[in-house]
Amino acid sequence: MLTSVTANDVDTNPALTYGFSTESDSEVDSSEAETTGFGVFSIDRFSGKVILVRRLDFESQREYRLRVTASDTAHTARTVLTIRVTDVNDNPPIFMQSSYQASLPGEYSTILLGVAGRFCLSVCCIMSVWAGMAQSV
């Protein structure tokens, strides 16, 4: 469950039901609710609990604006639920080449800096070790 929407009705019957809407009206401006989120989110019709149907990707879409309705069959209330997607580190680093080389000044020979599939941190550590060894030799 991501969140829950609730509405109040002073009448006790009939019970309120919740849903998503694609309709535009004067209460909910269409520019405010451009992304319906159908197929991405679901709402429990009786409790108003909003759940995620499929995985979100920050790089694909950063925000969803859902038109939510609450109805007692005689009257319908509408609002916009905004869901902002936060970025997580879900993409591994990628080297653009399979290997890298650099020449050291002076009598030091060429060393391998990185191999495809290794992280930049590993490359930096290798450089630190080589620099330390070169100075102590």
Q: What is the pLDDT of residue 128?
A: 37
Higher pLDDT, 16 or 97: 16
Report the C-alpha gap between 46 and 8 in whole angstroms: 13
Q: What is the pLDDT of residue 23?
A: 73
SS (H, E, C) the chain: CCEECCCCCCCCCCCCEEEECCCCCCCCCCCCCCCCCECCEEECCCCCEEEECCCCCCCCCCEEEEEEEEECCCCEEEEEEEEECCCCCCCCCCCCCCEEEECCCCCCCCEEEEECCCCHHHHHHHHHHHHHHHHHC
Report the C-alpha gap between 22 and 51 in whole angstroms: 18
Q: pLDDT above 70 covers what percent of the chain?
A: 64
Neighbours of 16 (CB within 10 A): 20
In CATH, the number for domain 3-84 is: 2.60.40.60
Q: What is the pLDDT of residue 104?
A: 59
Tens of pLDDT, residues 4-61: 999 999 987 899 999 999 876 545 444 444 456 778 999 999 999 999 999 999 989 9
Higher pLDDT, 50 or 105: 50
What distance lies between CA 11 and its chain's CA centroid? 39
Per domain, the residue ranges of the chain are: 3-84, 99-136
Q: What is the pLDDT of residue 6?
A: 95
- Beta strands 63-71 and 76-84, pairing class: antiparallel
Higher pLDDT, 123 or 2: 2
Q: How would residue 106 be classed by pLDDT, with cut points 50, 70 and 90? A: low
Residue 108 has pLDDT above 80, yes or no: no
Q: What is the pLDDT of residue 25?
A: 54
